[in-house]
Amino acid sequence: MRKRWPDEKGRRFYKDLQKRLSEKLHHLDNVELRNINTLLAIDVSYKEGHAMVCGVLWDVGKACPFAIYRYIEPVYFPYISGLFFIRELPPIVRLAKKVAIDYDVLLLNAVGAAHPEGIGLATHAGLYLEKPSFGITERIPYGFYEMPEKREKAWRKILDSNGNTIGYVIRSQKYVKPVFVTPGYRLKPETALSLAMSLPFNARLPEPLRLADRCSKKDFKKEVKIRGCENETIHSIKYPAMTGKQPG
């Protein structure tokens, strides 16, 4: 009979690792909002046993994209509640390392501090890539909060069991469901909030993540095009799968 991976001992190891990393991250320096000019938004979709990753480079000042990257690889790890980073971190890191243009902040459709162990995928990715990071997502696995008022830019704090602020729940538009903003690596909760509020919201997710989400769900064999900062057409740059048959 094939053993389940990781076994109970392995799960305890990874959870303990997350807890120890979380305690150390509180002592790291943070980044000021005025020093953030570009960000890389990444999202991952899954199809036929493959992880399809898309990264959108975003100009914060001009509020527009200027490059788009795509990558695909087989899924090597199962989904494990609380240990999602084991499954999704490898393809995110591999895509980010292929981006030749430097960026200031990493944005993921994932949680950072709002995690039972205090360190979610958004934190792991920033730590591994040595980039300040934060996450914006439609739900969180941990945290205490009240829903914001039904008005544009309304927000409420997300607290841990000790009353510490670990993120914010924000409503970008009056009649849109809120999203959750959580700091990852080297970003204060309030800086993550300010940065999130500076992004355009044409849907529930901010535009950089919406584009990354849409791109990751497209047929990998087809080209993706988006409108860039100077109203020019940006063509996606594709990186083929490491191994395995690509889904059609």
For the stretch 193-232, pLDDT in tens is 999 999 999 999 999 999 999 999 998 888 899 999 988 8
Q: Hey, how many other C-beta atoms are within 10 angstroms of the C-beta on 165?
A: 16
CB-count burial class (<10 Å; 0-12, 13-18, 19+) for 212: buried
Q: Which of the pair, 247 or 165, is modelled with greater confidence?
A: 165
Tens of pLDDT along 139-181? 999 999 999 999 999 999 999 999 999 999 999 988 899 999 9
Q: 């709002």: which residue's tokens?
A: 114
Residue 8 has which token pair?
Answer: 């109970």
pLDDT higher than 80, residue 52: yes
The larger pLDDT score, comparing residue 139 to residue 11, is at 139
**Cα 24 to Cα 127: distance, rounded to the nearest angstrom:** 11
Single out the residue of 26, 40, 46 nearest to residue 129, CA to CA: 40
pTM across the whole model: 0.89
> What are the pLDDT digits (tens) for 92-133?
999 999 998 999 999 999 999 999 888 899 999 999 999 999
Question: Taking Cα atoms as reference points, which of 212, 119, 139 lies closest to residue 179?
Answer: 139
Tokens, residue 168: 């914010």
**What is residue 10's predicted lDDT score, i.e. its pLDDT?**
62
Q: Does domain 8-239 have CATH number 3.40.50.1000?
A: no
Instruction: Please give the Cα distance from 123 to 183 (Å, whole number).
Output: 8
What are the domain boundaries of the chain? Answer: 8-239
CA distance 151 to 224: 34
Q: Quote the CA–CA distance of 32 and 42 in Å, as a whole number.
A: 22
Secondary structure of the chain in the HEC alphabet? Answer: CCCCCCCHHHHHHHHHHHHHHHHHHCCCCCCCHHHCCEEEEEEEEEECCEEEEEEEEEECCCCEEEEEEEEEEECCCCCCCCCHHHHHHHHHHHHHHHCCCCCCEEEECCCCCCCCCCCCHHHHHHHHHCCCEEEEECCCCCCECCCCCCCCCEEEEEECCCCCEEEEEEECCCCCCCEEEEECCCCCHHHHHHHHHHCCCCCCCCHHHHHHHHHHCCCCCCCCEEECCCCCEEECEEECCCCCCCCC
pLDDT at 37: 96
pLDDT at res. 175: 86
